């Protein structure tokens, strides 16, 4: 601190003159005069500022009305001398005959046809936008035109031929299975036997159901409980057998 205080001097309180920094001289290339001389030598007036003199239009040549419309050529005197031929109009007393004459009253005929004829039906249209744009209904594809065809509803020939082939193949398959089963001593039930078997099963189910209905409401001992379970299992088995026979029309039975 003592060293810093020793540097203070009263002379520092006097105002000092500001010294302006000296600006160094600007750099100028030694080739500047030659470049400037060459640029002025190769420079032309019209290249940058346009031609020296331009023809100014005359103020008398201003745009006039209908001046740009196409004009017809001048009419020759020979055309003026020519006159159009006079038109020969028939007189009121003349009665010229044109083609075949008819005594038919076309006015009355047209009136009768208009009264007795059918009114013209409007062409069917459909609207496809909210703004009401209309389109022809006939060409839209919404009209079922296919139902008016001659072969509509008729089974195609190739489908009929295919169905016949499927039936024939099914018959051959069934005949082959039947022959194979007959070789193994298996008998096929006829329709009559199947019907009688089905009737017998239904009759047995009705009898079991009648016995089940005759049981007492309160099952208070083991005997009644076993009887009820036996009837329920019997009815369930009969229902299963009836369903199987009704579902399958062809039934085979193995011979003992």
pLDDT one-digit tens code per residue, 58-86: 998 888 898 888 888 887 766 556 666 66
Between CA 41 and CA 51, with CA 46 as vertex, the angle to 5 degrees is 150
135-188 per-position pLDDT tens digit:
998 888 888 888 888 888 888 899 999 999 999 999 999 888 877 777 766 677
Backbone angles phi, psi at 238, to 5 degrees: -65, -40
With a CB cutoff of 8 Å and minimum separation 6, the contacts of 238 are: 201, 204, 205, 208
pLDDT-derived band of residue 2, with 50, 70 and 90 as boundaries?
very low
Mean pLDDT (whole number) for 121-128:
89
Q: Which helix (H) or strand (E) holds 125?
A: strand 125-127
Predicted TM-score (pTM) of the model is 0.32
């Amino acid at each position: 601190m003592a060293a810093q205080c020793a540097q203070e001097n009263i002379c520092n309180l006097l105002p000092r003159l500001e010294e302006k920094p000296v600006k160094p001289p600007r750099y100028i290339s030694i080739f500047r005069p030659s470049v400037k001389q060459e640029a002025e030598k190769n420079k032309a007036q019209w290249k940058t500022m346009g031609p020296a003199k331009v023809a100014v239009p005359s103020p008398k040549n201003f745009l006039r009305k209908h001046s740009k419309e196409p004009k017809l050529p001048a009419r020759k005197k020979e055309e003026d001398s020519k006159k159009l031929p006079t038109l020969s109009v028939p007189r009121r007393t003349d009665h010229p005959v044109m083609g075949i004459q008819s005594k038919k009253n076309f006015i009355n005929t047209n009136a009768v046809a208009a009264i007795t004829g059918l009114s013209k039906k409007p062409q069917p249209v459909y609207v496809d936008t909210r703004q009401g744009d209309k389109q022809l209904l006939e060409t839209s594809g919404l009209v079922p035109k296919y139902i008016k065809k001659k072969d509509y509803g008729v089974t195609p020939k190739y489908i009929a031929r295919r169905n016949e082939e499927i039936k024939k193949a099914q018959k051959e398959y069934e005949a082959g299975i039947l022959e194979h089963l007959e070789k193994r001593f298996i008998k096929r039930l006829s329709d009559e036997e199947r019907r009688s078997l089905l009737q017998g099963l239904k009759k047995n189910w009705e009898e079991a159901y009648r016995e089940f209905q005759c049981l007492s409401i309160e099952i208070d001992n083991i005997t009644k409980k076993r009887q009820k379970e036996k009837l329920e299992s019997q009815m369930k088995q009969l229902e299963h057998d009836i369903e199987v026979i009704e579902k399958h029309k062809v039934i085979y039975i193995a011979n003992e």
